[in-house]
A and B are shown apart, each in its own frame.
Chain A
């Protein structure tokens, strides 16, 4: 399977600051990446679809101006949480689609964001 990395693995920030999370595809080129978040004891929730070279597509209820996604290359997508607040504290996970005969999604290890 594909290897996806995320950086940082965890981050603590003060309320009102912005945090950038990187998602890298280490062994495949990914034209499409997905961003999810997961609150404690809940399932993953899809936030947005990140397409290389174009604007991201956000799911209903996800604020595009708050969660900025940039997919400038085939191996890197970034998620910036702007003006973070304690309710944004969550586990953020990215995934990439490996365009082979199986077209399978592979997930990164996740980033734990805590906003104080």
Chain B
């Protein structure tokens, strides 16, 4: 079973920041928080991941709480192309890091 809890759906206005929450209260010390997204009928796309510290890349920012029990993915300026299912996954890294996908959050960006 997935070790994360996400809201099933969210809406966001185009151009505004999209903040997607994720709860992972049973995360262990060596597990990373990964975020992927899947646009309809495509393979998942890697967005970002982190262990303890907040992370930022060209796509998004990841904010992890100090106790690591929850995190938030931030898309700073959502566009219509960001409409997708967003998956928050807790896993060990590397070859042993099997990704167990939950139901994710369906983000609908509206004009």
Which A positions have Cβ atoms within 8 angstroms of B?
1, 4, 6, 31-32, 34, 36, 43-46, 49, 51, 91, 93, 95, 97, 99, 102-110, 112
Whether A108 contacts B99 by the Cβ 8 Å rule is no
- By a CB distance below 8 angstroms, the chain A residues around B41 are 91, 110, 112
Whether A110 contacts B97 by the Cβ 8 Å rule is no
A44 to B38: give the CA distance in the assembly, Å: 10
Whether A102 contacts B99 by the Cβ 8 Å rule is no
Whether A31 contacts B95 by the Cβ 8 Å rule is yes
A39 to B43: give the CA distance in the assembly, Å: 13
Whether B93 contacts A103 by the Cβ 8 Å rule is yes
Given A32-B95, A97-B94, A99-B94; A108-B43 close (CB under 8 Å): yes
Whether A110 contacts B42 by the Cβ 8 Å rule is yes
Given A107-B43, A107-B44, A107-B45; A97-B95 close (CB under 8 Å): yes
Which B positions have Cβ atoms within 8 angstroms of A?
34, 36, 38, 41-46, 49, 87, 93-95, 97-104
A49 to B95: give the CA distance in the assembly, Å: 9
5 A-B pairs whose Cβ atoms sit less than 8 Å apart in the complex: A32-B95, A34-B98, A45-B101, A93-B43, A104-B93
Nearest-neighbour CB distance to chain B for A17, whole angstroms, equals: 24
- By a CB distance below 8 angstroms, the chain B residues around A105 are 34, 46, 97, 99
Known pairs A36-B101, A104-B34, A107-B43; list 11 more (Cβ under 8 Å).
A43-B102, A44-B38, A44-B101, A46-B99, A49-B98, A51-B95, A99-B94, A105-B46, A106-B46, A108-B43, A109-B43
Whether B93 contacts A102 by the Cβ 8 Å rule is yes
Nearest-neighbour CB distance to chain B for A51, whole angstroms, equals: 8
A43 to B36: give the CA distance in the assembly, Å: 12
- By a CB distance below 8 angstroms, the chain B residues around A106 are 46
Nearest-neighbour CB distance to chain A for B106, whole angstroms, equals: 11
